[in-house]
Amino acid sequence: MQQKINELINLYNAGSFSKVIDEAKILAQQYPGSFVIWNVMGAAAAQIDMLDLSIMALRKVIALKPDHAIAYNNLGNTFIKLDNYSDAIEAFKNAIKIQPDNLDALYNMSIALRLQGDFDEAMEACGRVVRMQPQNAKAHHTMGKILQDLGKPEEATKAYMKAIEIKPDYAEAISSLGSILLSQKKLNEAISAFEKVAALSLNDPYPYIYVSECLRLQGNYEDAMAACARALQIEPESADTFNAIGNIWKKQYKLEDARNAFEKAIDIQPDFVGAYVNLSDCLRLQRKLEPAINICDKALEIDPFLTDAHNCRGTILQQTGRIKEAMKAYMKAIEIKPDHAKAHTNLSTCYLMQNDFVKAFEHTEWRWLAQQDNIGSQFKSNKPSWTGEQHEKVFVWKEQGIGDELMLSSMFVDLIKKSENIVIECDSRLIPLYERSFPKNIQFINDRNQISEGDYDSQIAIGSLPKYLRHELNDFKSVASGWLSADGEKVNVLREKLRSESAGKIIGISWLTMAALEKAQYRNIALPKLAEYLTQIPGKYVSLQYGDVAEEVDRVSYQTGINISRIEEIDNFRDIDGLAALISACDLVISIDNLTVHLAGTLGVDTRVILPKVADARWGTSTRGSYWYDSVTLYRQEDLGDWCSPLNHLVNDLTA
């Protein structure tokens, strides 16, 4: 019998698992009391996913030899494959009880505990393995996974690097390191890691897919596509690669190409829920909203607990104006995954549209984890966050675009009532305007490195100020009439210059945003289209538009007969103080939703804003006024993409 058992073990070590099972079944009939035969059968069955047979055989071992620690360990591994983590943990505990120094069982138990979500217990078990086997690369790698689950990326990175130090060709650990570097947007380092994995795993397309993702995030679309091409050389029918290609096209707004790639991924793998979500989002960007919802629903038919699909569905519903349905979708995502940061931030916009400021600004705090494109880097400080305390030295740091900085500066006056000493980081272009407009005990800087922790007691992101200073509509009223002051001398000079060119009302116009945010282009109005309606509104027109628009302005002026002046001594992009003076020299401003609107609103200038059907949440859903700025009047599209209705309303208001 021993000779036959040795042959069986040799077959197992050679990877001939099916043959092991066939031979073991015959031997088990001849020697039913041999726990070794049953154990080899159970281990082999687990290797080829014959899991019911594996459990039966291993339980037979335990019945024959109750103190067989290895059988309990093998049984635990089989339960892990069945996602039955509680029974797996119980099996590993039995193995350790029988054999306290069984580090294999202890290590495997840490894996089961992690998969069950018991991260602290998993950390304790894995830590014991590392202490007893400090050169165990696999244990260091698993410890990194657990630390990452616990939200400790720096410590996880160290664990991965230790695993790689012990075993330099450990591809899985290098891949994990690459993934965490990718999540931290350390893209060059991540690319280096994935390239090492590719060199170690020549027939694996996934390192190239991850390299393409890093390159996509860097905006290097050509090389990202080249990486995907390498992946397709290895596996021509890779659904993940076509999904990655779709994301590259989508990032460039080549939406039809993106759509084709996502559909190809789904053709290859019909249950690829991630590709369904990406396809749905692509259709949303194409404004094919009902088909987008249908695709999202297909993803949820496959996986009802897919939080990204619920979140995507919410964004589509929100774009159609079905705010309550969108909120239900976001809430469902959060119910399934309470830390779904994007669902929280999307839900915040819905609350903001409904003027529920307390809930809106609470959910906005998830923006850092959501990794939004419109916010800068989070400030790292050992000093606590400001939460509304009186009489502290507070450092307010910037995070968003200059338009948001202007809008949120309305709270500096409220903040100074609570804290006598304030340092505010802001765009350097705003400092002259701010220093003229705010009390002298507010210090303005344009670089957070100019301040040390000894200069303040607490700190806060500018976008977090509303959480403590704006709870209801009345909180906006004290400064909504305007709180910034342009250079009076410049204003008079500019007004005199414009008046000398033409009598009548001076009207500043702006029609374009160059913001890189998704949907930003839907705010833009072609200047010829705007000019069609401006011909009906008498006045002296002046361009407030930033960017190189001279040729466009001259062409439209010639074609329509409207004389649109450009004040060339003011750079409307770099010289914000000069732009503020130019806006203040105007009797009226007509603009799309961009920096011009926020600057005009802070100055209290009569401003007419033309909005898309689904506008930014700060403008609400249906009102004509703004709680941020008393001087702003809103004109909204009635149908997606149709500017005729708001422009007709504007003309009627200004010519009545």
pLDDT at 452: 92
3-state class (DSSP) for residue 139: helix
Q: How many CB atoms lie within 10 A of CB 537?
A: 18
pLDDT single digits (tens) 182-193: 988 899 999 999
55-62: list long-range contacts, CB under 8 Å, 24+ apart: 55/79, 57/24, 60/35, 61/35
> 471 in a domain, yes or no?
yes
Same domain, 422 and 506: no
Res 220 pLDDT > 70: yes
| Cα gap 303→283, rounded to integer Å | 20
User: pLDDT-based confidence at 518, cuts 50/70/90?
Assistant: low
CA distances from 461 to 377, 395, 438, 630, 653 (A): 10, 9, 19, 25, 39
Res 602 pLDDT > 60: yes
User: pLDDT-based confidence at 621, cuts 50/70/90?
Assistant: confident
User: pLDDT-based confidence at 519, cuts 50/70/90?
Assistant: low
pLDDT single digits (tens) 407-466: 999 999 899 988 878 999 999 999 999 999 999 889 999 999 999 999 999 999 999 999
What is the average pLDDT across 223-245? 97
**Is the Cα dihedral 443, 448, 454, 459 positive or negative?**
positive
pLDDT at 377: 74
Same domain, 612 and 648: yes
> 644 in a domain, yes or no?
yes
Q: What mean pLDDT, rounded, does the chain reach?
A: 93
pLDDT at 517: 53
Res 372 pLDDT > 70: no
Same domain, 472 and 492: no
| Cα gap 379→448, rounded to integer Å | 8
Same domain, 428 and 513: no
CB 122 within 8 A of CB 113: yes
Same domain, 519 and 638: yes
262-271, 277-286, 509-518: least confident range: 509-518
> 303 in a domain, yes or no?
no
156-170, 513-527, 595-609: least confident range: 513-527
pLDDT at 373: 61
| Cα gap 132→622, rounded to integer Å | 65
> 454 in a domain, yes or no?
yes
Give 612-629 as a DSSP string.
-SS--GGG-SS-SB-SS-
CA distances from 33 to 18, 27, 36, 61 (A): 22, 10, 9, 9
| Cα gap 530→650, rounded to integer Å | 11
What is the average pLDDT across 483-493? 96
CA distances from 30 to 23, 24, 26, 334 (A): 11, 10, 7, 57
Same domain, 650 and 534: yes
What global pTM score does this model have? 0.83
pLDDT single digits (tens) 333-352: 999 999 999 999 999 999 99
> 31 in a domain, yes or no?
no
Same domain, 588 and 456: no
CB 385 within 8 A of CB 458: yes
pLDDT at 368: 86
Which CATH number covers residue 561? 3.40.50.2000
CA distances from 60 to 50, 55, 241 (A): 16, 8, 45
pLDDT single digits (tens) 26-65: 888 888 888 888 989 989 998 898 999 999 999 998 999 9
Number of domains in the chain: 2
Range of 552's domain? 488-655
Res 516 pLDDT > 70: no
Same domain, 612 and 540: yes
| Cα gap 586→570, rounded to integer Å | 15
DSSP state of 521: G
Domain boundary among 430, 451, 476: 476
| Cα gap 141→158, rounded to integer Å | 10
Terminal-residue alpha carbon distance, the chain: 105
User: pLDDT-based confidence at 526, cuts 50/70/90?
Assistant: very high
> 506 in a domain, yes or no?
yes
> 88 in a domain, yes or no?
no
Same domain, 404 and 551: no
Res 503 pLDDT > 80: no
> 445 in a domain, yes or no?
yes
User: pLDDT-based confidence at 614, cuts 50/70/90?
Assistant: confident
What is the average pLDDT across 603-609? 98
Same domain, 624 and 559: yes
Angle at 148 between CA 146 and CA 151, to 5 degrees: 115
Same domain, 470 and 494: no
- Out of 266-270, 364-368, 556-560, the most confident range is 266-270
Same domain, 510 and 608: yes
Question: What is the strand order of the sheet 564-565 is part of?
Answer: 564-565, 540-543, 506-510, 588-592, 607-611, 632-636
What is the average pLDDT across 470-474? 95
Q: How many CB atoms lie within 10 A of CB 64?
A: 17
pLDDT at 622: 84
Which CATH number covers residue 414? 3.40.50
pLDDT at 509: 97
Domain boundary among 451, 476, 501: 476
Domain boundary among 444, 476, 508: 476
pLDDT single digits (tens) 107-145: 999 999 999 999 999 999 999 999 999 999 999 999 999
Tell me which H or E stretch contains 300. helix 289-302
For residue 179, give the nearest of 147, 210, 225 by alpha carbon: 210
